[in-house]
């Protein structure tokens, strides 16, 4: 939830200026704001317009900002992390440094190396050593693509089991 508001679809420079004037700097500011903050957005648009009454353009801009606030607050606005982009050992959001075992299973490097220090077996009891792991460049690229194109802002993630995809 540390994402900048500029990473949200539909927030351009003008919309961003309204949010900043209203005191919103990050997605978490909007997510945790009081219900009355929608009025603050309208007042911010009025201050930026610098006149006594809002023109149709600025009224539409305020309405757009309120819509964005509502999108962020909706439960279904949470971006989902597909299960196959998460490590089956740590389930710690997206894998950062995915590695593959000779059996074809992918893990976050830190998680599998920690597990292998305790026992030289994979989670299914098959023999495995750190030396047998190799980088999974294809998975890393797929995760980067998903994050760039489908995760425009971060609100706490939930896991989507593979069968739901």
Question: Would you call 157 exposed, middle or buried from its count of C-beta atoms within 10 A (0-12, 13-18, 19+)?
Answer: middle
Highest mean pLDDT of the ranges 7-11, 20-24, 25-29: 20-24
H or E stretch including 38? Answer: helix 37-49
Residue range 47-55: mean pLDDT, rounded: 65
- Burial of 44 from C-beta contacts in 10 A (0-12 / 13-18 / 19+): buried
Tokens of 136: 């999974």
Three-state helix/strand/coil letters over 86-109? CCCCCCCCCCCCEEECCCCCEEEH
Output 151 or 82, whichever has higher pLDDT: 82
- In the chain, what are the domains? 5-77 (no CATH), 80-164 (3.30.40.10)
Band of pLDDT at residue 100, cut at 50, 70 and 90: very high
Segment of 27-31, 91-95, 135-139 carrying the highest mean pLDDT: 135-139
Q: How far apart are CA 66 and CA 19, in angstroms?
A: 10
| Predicted structure pTM score | 0.50
Choose between 10 and 114: higher pLDDT.
114
Distances (CA, A) of 42 to 11, 66, 70: 16, 8, 14
Q: Give CA–CA dist 113/124, Å, rounded.
A: 15
63-92 pLDDT per residue, tens: 878 877 777 776 444 456 777 888 888 776
Residues sharing a CB contact under 8 Å with residue 1, sequence separation 6 or more, in sequence order: 26, 27, 28, 31, 154, 155, 156
* Predicted pLDDT of residue 67: 78
Average pLDDT over residues 146-155: 62
Q: Give the pLDDT score at 77.
A: 47
Could you tell me the pLDDT band of residue 55, with boundaries at 50, 70 and 90?
low
């Amino acid at each position: 939830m540390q994402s900048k508001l500029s990473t949200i679809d539909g927030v351009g420079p003008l919309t961003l200026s309204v949010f900043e004037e209203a005191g919103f700097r990050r997605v978490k500011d909007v997510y945790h704001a009081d219900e009355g903050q929608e009025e603050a957005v309208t007042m911010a648009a009025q201050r930026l317009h610098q006149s006594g009454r809002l023109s149709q353009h600025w009224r539409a801009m305020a309405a757009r900002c309120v819509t964005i606030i509502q999108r962020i607050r909706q439960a279904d606005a949470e971006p989902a992390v597909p299960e196959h982009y998460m490590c089956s050992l740590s389930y710690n959001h997206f894998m950062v440094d995915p590695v593959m075992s000779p059996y074809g299973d992918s893990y976050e490097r830190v998680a599998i190396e920690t597990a292998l220090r305790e026992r030289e077996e994979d989670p299914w009891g098959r023999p495995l050593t750190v030396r047998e792991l190799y980088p999974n460049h294809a998975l890393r690229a797929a995760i980067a693509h998903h994050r760039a194109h489908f995760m425009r802002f971060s609100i706490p993630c939930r896991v989507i089991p593979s069968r739901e995809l």
